[in-house]
Amino acid sequence: MSDTIESIKQQISDNAILLYMKGSPQLPQCGFSAQAVQALMACGEKFAFVNILDNPDIRSELPKYASWPTFPQLWIDGELVGGCDIIVEMYQNGELEPMVKAAAAKSAEASSDS
């Protein structure tokens, strides 16, 4: 298995809420990433991100690993939630925030146990 896939697995397991995106939350570099960040930020929890523009190896390998061709990609508790349309739709219908809050609470609990 490639080092890149190992890095991706590590990132996903180390971060309860992880967004693979173009740019950063402060400076998204595509409209879809910007929409995903807005929906996530509106949930009120901190989240990790990986700028795939700075990581071409991840940009090329993650779609194969995730079986999901596009970015952004939101991962919560090690599971791929989806891309921009799914993130925004889940936020609008009230599904995203409880999922994000639960993952953040579980992550905080786990880090206070260690």
Q: Do the annotations mark residue 14 as ligand-binding? A: no
Q: Do the annotations mark residue 3 as ligand-binding? A: no
Q: Do the annotations mark residue 43 as ligand-binding? A: no
Q: Do the annotations mark residue 22 as ligand-binding? A: yes
Strand partners, 73: 20
For residue 74, give Cα distances in angstroms to 21, 47, 84, 113.
9, 10, 8, 26
Q: Are strands 73-76 and 79-82 parallel, antiparallel or unpaired?
A: antiparallel
Could you tell me the two tokens for 35? 């929409």
Q: Do the annotations mark residue 32 as ligand-binding? A: no
Whether the Cβ atoms of residue 19 and residue 37 lie closer than 8 Å to each other: yes
Q: Do the annotations mark residue 9 as ligand-binding? A: no
Indicate the annotated binding residues for glutathione.
22, 59, 71, 84-85
Indicate the annotated binding residues.
22, 30, 59, 71, 84-85
Indicate the annotated binding residues for [2Fe-2S] cluster.
30
